[in-house]
């Protein structure tokens, strides 16, 4: 076998060992646009035309007498011999290998896709078969490219529909469309957008399509509802588009893209709900702030003034009345503080504890004439809401008790968070032995015991008073 060399066309037929007879008949045969082979009953090549040379790269004379399998890849030759045997049993004009991908083999060993049509011919001498061979490389490449594009379209999450401008019937739907509406691609091929969207009117939709057809490249965006096969409604954003035409080609089909808006609408609803909750929380925070900054400060200042006056009273009846009023003010402060904690947004109370403590110390300066010194130790921000709700009122009570002591010029406050939560208030004043502070001490003891804690008061040898309010941290 030799590779193709472009010889001048011979004056006599050189690509056959058959007796062609009529030169014009040979000219028709040799000039056919497809490759043509004539094969005998044993599968041997008896004639080839010029196009076979060009397709396979062989000199035509070298093919005469060879079996037709020489033009096939090695892995297909045995199967092809079986095909020839079956065809010989039922010879008729038909395409070969319908539904299969057939391949030819060039002289250089490369394979390429081909399409073959067979037609039997009976002569006086022997039965022959004419095989027309066509190179379909470009078609296969185009089909491969189309398959790649369709694969990309099927990978799109949004639903994609192509539909005809006249009938409005879908000509193509991607996998996203099948999953969105629940119909198979075959079922959708008999449907239109109007079948899917109960809000769409066919006449109005037809007018929309015609208006887009007049201005190719334009689109229309709308919100609608797609009703699934199971009856469920899906909110969608729908874009109808008339792609621009390509010169020399028929106008492309219309495109409809439907995006499921369920997740977006749910997110928007959650955002609205969150905004509303935030607005309510901010309003509650504002109310709590006003109660803390105005009401509690005034009540506390009044209580501190009364406690200072208590030490100056010599009338037991007046002193008793003052103690009752101070106790009522303390209870009022606790009630207001409880209301404030309920108004605060969840998760913000412990973060505000340090600021609350500093605010209480600042409030006490008005009555004491000086501001107590404070130290913090440990993870104060980790305290539970229950402890926070009791700690600040306890601190107020401890400062109120220190304010009753005569000649107090210094007060130190320690807030320690470890295994226990400890609030220690130490002052350098002298205890008044009038029993005026008994009610306040009892209240501090009760608040500690309510949290399984203790309250102790001692008078160090160096003078002054050391009061400790202690509760378990966890």
Assigned CATH topology for domain 23-135: Beta-Lactamase (3.30.450)
What pLDDT, on a 0 to 100 scale, did the predictor assign at position 3? 39
Structure tokens at 224: 């609608």
Residue extents of the structural domains in the chain: 23-135, 152-260, 268-472
Is residue 439 a contact partner of residue 330, using CB atoms and an 8 Å limit? no
Is residue 280 a contact partner of residue 344, using CB atoms and an 8 Å limit? no
In angstroms, the CA 257 to CA 249 distance is: 23
What pLDDT, on a 0 to 100 scale, did the predictor assign at position 170? 93
Q: Do domains 152-260 and 268-472 have the same CATH topology?
A: no
pLDDT averaged per 10 residues, the chain (length 474): 40 60 78 90 89 91 90 87 80 66 89 90 84 90 84 84 90 91 93 90 89 85 90 91 79 88 83 78 72 71 72 74 77 69 51 76 81 86 84 87 82 91 90 55 87 90 88 87
Is residue 121 a contact partner of residue 130, using CB atoms and an 8 Å limit? yes
What pLDDT, on a 0 to 100 scale, did the predictor assign at position 347? 45
- Closest among 171, 146, 169, 173 to 159, alpha carbons compared: 173
User: How many Cα atoms occupy the beta-carbon half-sphere of 1 within 13 Å?
Assistant: 16
What pLDDT, on a 0 to 100 scale, did the predictor assign at position 126? 84
CA angle 244/247/250 to nearest 5° reads 70
Structure tokens at 280: 């309510």
- Residue 424 main-chain phi, psi, to 5 deg: -115, 130
CATH 3.30.450.20 fits 152-260, yes or no: yes
In angstroms, the CA 102 to CA 93 distance is: 18
Is residue 466 a contact partner of residue 426, using CB atoms and an 8 Å limit? yes
CATH 3.30.565.10 fits 268-472, yes or no: yes
């Amino acid at each position: 076998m030799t590779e193709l060399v472009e010889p001048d066309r011979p004056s006599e037929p050189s690509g056959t060992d058959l007796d062609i007879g009529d030169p014009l008949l040979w000219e028709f045969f040799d000039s056919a646009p497809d490759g043509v082979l004539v094969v005998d009953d044993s599968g041997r090549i008896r004639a080839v035309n010029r196009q076979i040379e060009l397709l396979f790269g062989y000199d035509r004379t070298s093919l005469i007498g060879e079996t037709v399998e020489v033009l096939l890849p090695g892995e297909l030759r045995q199967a092809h011999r079986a095909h020839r045997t079956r065809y010989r049993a039922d010879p008729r004009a038909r395409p070969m290998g319908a539904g299969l991908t057939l391949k030819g083999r060039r002289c250089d060993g490369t394979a390429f896709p081909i399409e073959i049509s067979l037609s039997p011919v009976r002569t006086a001498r022997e039965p022959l078969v004419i095989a027309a061979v066509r190179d379909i490389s470009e078609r296969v490449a185009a089909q491969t490219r189309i398959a790649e594009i369709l694969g990309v379209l099927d990978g799109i999450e949004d639903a994609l529909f192509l539909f005809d401008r006249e009938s409005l019937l879908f000509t193509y739907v991607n996998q996203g469309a099948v999953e969105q509406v629940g119909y198979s691609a075959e079922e959708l091929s008999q449907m239109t957008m109007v079948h899917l969207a109960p809000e769409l009117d066919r006449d109005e939709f037809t007018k929309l399509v015609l208006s887009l057809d007049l201005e190719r490249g334009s689109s229309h965006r709308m919100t609608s509802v797609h009703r699934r096969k199971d009856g469920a409604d899906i909110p969608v954003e729908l874009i109808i588009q008339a792609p621009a035409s390509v010169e020399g080609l028929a106008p492309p089909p219309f495109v409809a893209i439907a995006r499921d808006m369920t997740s977006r609408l749910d997110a928007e609803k959650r955002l609205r709900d969150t905004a509303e909750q935030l607005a309510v929380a901010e309003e509650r925070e504002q109310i709590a702030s006003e109660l803390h900054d105005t009401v509690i400060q005034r009540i506390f200042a009044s209580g501190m003034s009364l406690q200072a006056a208590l030490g100056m009273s010599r009338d037991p009846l007046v002193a008793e009345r003052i103690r009752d009023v101070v106790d009522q003010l303390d209870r009022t402060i606790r009630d207001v503080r409880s209301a404030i904690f309920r108004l605060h947004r969840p998760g913000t109370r412990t973060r505000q504890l340090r600021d609350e403590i500093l605010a209480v110390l600042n409030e006490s300066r008005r009555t004491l004439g000086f501001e107590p010194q404070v130290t913090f130790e440990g993870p104060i921000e980790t305290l539970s809401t229950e402890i926070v709700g009791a700690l600040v009122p306890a601190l107020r009570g401890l400062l109120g008790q220190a304010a009753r002591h005569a000649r107090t010029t210094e007060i130190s406050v320690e807030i320690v968070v470890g295994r226990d939560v400890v609030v220690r208030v130490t002052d350098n004043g002298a205890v008044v032995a009038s029993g005026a502070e008994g009610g306040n001490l009892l209240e501090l003891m009760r608040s500690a015991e309510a949290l399984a804690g203790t309250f102790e008061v001692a008078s160090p040898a160096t003078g002054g008073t050391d009061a400790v309010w202690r509760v378990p941290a966890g």
